[in-house]
Structure 1
Amino acid sequence: MSAEGSSTGKPERAASRNADDRWAEFDSEAYFQHYYGEPHPDDDCVIRLAVAAMKSALPLGTELDMVDVGTGPNLISLFCALPRAHRLTVWEYAESNITWLEAELARDVMRPQWSHFWNVVREAYLPEFDLPEDPIPILRERCHLRRGSIFDLPTRRWQAATMFYCAESITDRQDEFEAACAAFARCVRRGGTLAAAFLARSTGYAVNESCYPALSLSVESAVDAFAPYADGLRAEAVAREHQVRSGYSGFIFLTGTAR
């Protein structure tokens, strides 16, 4: 999730513009500990779906110029994209998240959580890719951190794009969600791969008592937001009867190609 994007608790709040929220106060480490301190099977499922999308991204057999939008304090989306990327732009809004990502990529030893998730990525890329045990040195080389809003993405810039838990976690307004999805879809060249994960039925969250917005989504509303901008849309919902972690009860994974 991005911090134009997200983390812990379930606040009550009125609808507001994305710009009204206190992204400068976003506590990146608290978010990481809440969402990824203990790996969950849902995370592994998202990884497998994302890797499948990346493995089939065109043109096959080549490394791509890629972007991950709204990365937040999370390396999972970068792990999923890395084997197909010769360059991976990390497009993130919150300064605290940029600082956190820089520190995380500078570590000599991966946290145990990242080791777990990277192993899931490695298994999902088999047999086509034989990946190293430690991806961090390659991430340092290929990742380029860029501070920017999803609403300010350039158009037709990249060959493929990923977005995990951003557009629905930066606002509780439908119009802003649709504008964010449009900006994401348009940042990829025509025919390029789009892969996005969304929280299902999210009602908002808090990080260290700071409240942040979220828009409750269905498969239909996610697909409808991308329909004007992408072809071959496929969406899969993994729903839970109870909350997985505070603020959501499952996820939606969507893929398509930019129109």
Structure 2
Amino acid sequence: MEPSRPLTPDGQVDWDAFAAHDYWKANYAFMRADDRLFLEMVRDFFGAEASSTPAGSGVDVGSGANLYPAMSMLPLADEITLWEYGAQNCAWLREQLPHYSTYWDRYWQTLREHKAYEALGSRDVRRRLARAATVHQASLFDLPEQQFDVGTMFFVAESITSDEGEFRRAVASFMEALKPGAPFAAAFMRNSTGYVVKDHKFPAVKVDEDGIAECLRAFASDLRVHTVDTRGRSIDAQDRSEGAPEKQLRDGYEGMILALGHRQ
């Protein structure tokens, strides 16, 4: 049976139909090598900031069923807004935040390999995240301008639309929500053709390193763009020119891209 596109009565994608638990189980119940490398890169970037940056306000845009972007901001933020649109995703987040599943412990263990995270301890991290994080149900296009001191957006802008213009507006909305100088981490599926969650097919727009860098340079300083394959290997430009990595999380994409930098 062909997966269907969930739509609202006015023909828009019905994000309330997004099955958060199924997505979590398929993507994050076990730590994958590519997510580990992403987390290490974000950890080292944010960890280096922690020694010179007082804790402020953070935002994770489009959190979905993924806690590790919010966890990665803990040394830099004592308030974290999980800015999420889908009803099932919001319900999943609110269920997890008071005492998140032990499945997330391995992600925190990876973060703790940096001294900035180790200093936060291990036993208290659940309470720390529960105190810091708040779920806010809203569209990413309604983000306030220059509100947050640090931000993350993982697999969102390219995974909510098949329209390149809307993708660019989503990236701009995220970046404009950050204060000048704010560090950020943004992740993207490379050349995604869409994805299926519990028999529902959701849209995507094809993006690559050059397109992402072009979008972000208008907003970001010291931009760094990395590509990672499923086996947790960083892929350089020559590797990419020779074709897509052999094995991916699912069909229809060519690796994952991580962009790090500071808001201008």
TM-score by length of 2: 0.85
Query: Cα distance 1:253–1:127, how it changes in 2: closer, same or farther (>3 A)?
Result: same
The farther-off stretch of 152-161 and 237-246 is 237-246
Figure out how many residues of one structure are paired with residues of the other and give that number.
242
Deviation at 1:131, TM superposition (A): 2.9
**Secondary structure of the structure 2 residue equivalent to 1:82:** coil
**Secondary structure of the structure 1 residue equivalent to 2:70:** helix
Pick from 30, 37, 46: which aligns with 2:22? 30
Aligned to 1:4: none
Pick from 187, 198, 209: which aligns with 1:197? 187
Q: CA RMSD in A?
A: 2.1
Pick from 88, 92, 98: which aligns with 1:100? 92
Q: Percent identity?
A: 31
Query: Cα distance 1:208–1:127, how it changes in 2: closer, same or farther (>3 A)?
Result: closer
Separation in structure 2 between the aligned mates of residue 84 and residue 121 of structure 1, nearest angstrom = 13
Separation in structure 2 between the aligned mates of residue 133 and residue 38 of structure 1, nearest angstrom = 19
Aligned to 1:86: 78
Pairing of 1:151-162 with structure 2 (within 5 A): 151-162=141-152
Query: Cα distance 1:184–1:58, how it changes in 2: closer, same or farther (>3 A)?
Result: farther
Contact 1:69–1:92 (Cα < 8 Å) also in 2: yes
Contact 1:58–1:193 (Cα < 8 Å) also in 2: no
Residue 54 (str. 1) matches residue 46 (str. 2): yes
Contact 2:47–2:115 (Cα < 8 Å) also in 1: no
Separation in structure 1 between the aligned mates of residue 75 and residue 220 of structure 2, nearest angstrom = 24
Separation in structure 2 between the aligned mates of residue 242 and residue 63 of structure 1, nearest angstrom = 39
Pick from 92, 115, 118: which aligns with 2:105? 115
Aligned to 2:56: 64
Separation in structure 2 between the aligned mates of residue 159 and residue 101 of structure 1, nearest angstrom = 22
Separation in structure 2 between the aligned mates of residue 211 and residue 70 of structure 1, nearest angstrom = 18
Aligned to 1:126: 115
Separation in structure 2 between the aligned mates of residue 129 and residue 84 of structure 1, nearest angstrom = 13
Contact 2:154–2:186 (Cα < 8 Å) also in 1: yes
Contact 2:161–2:203 (Cα < 8 Å) also in 1: yes
Pick from 244, 254, 258: which aligns with 2:249? 244
**Secondary structure of the structure 1 residue equivalent to 2:79:** strand
Separation in structure 2 between the aligned mates of residue 61 and residue 128 of structure 1, nearest angstrom = 14
5+ residue gaps, structure 1, are 1-9, 14-18
Deviation at 1:48, TM superposition (A): 0.8
Pick from 166, 169, 177: which aligns with 1:187? 177
Amino acid at match of 1:157: Q
Aligned to 1:164: 154
Amino acid at match of 1:256: G
Aligned to 1:253: 258
Greater C-alpha radius of gyration:
2
5+ residue gaps, structure 2, are 6-10, 230-244
**Secondary structure of the structure 2 residue equivalent to 1:106:** coil
Pick from 68, 72, 78: which aligns with 1:76? 68
Amino acid at match of 2:120: L
Query: Cα distance 1:242–1:117, how it changes in 2: closer, same or farther (>3 A)?
Result: same
Which gives a bigger RCO, structure 1 or 2 (Cα 8 Å, sep 6+)? 1
Contact 1:159–1:188 (Cα < 8 Å) also in 2: yes
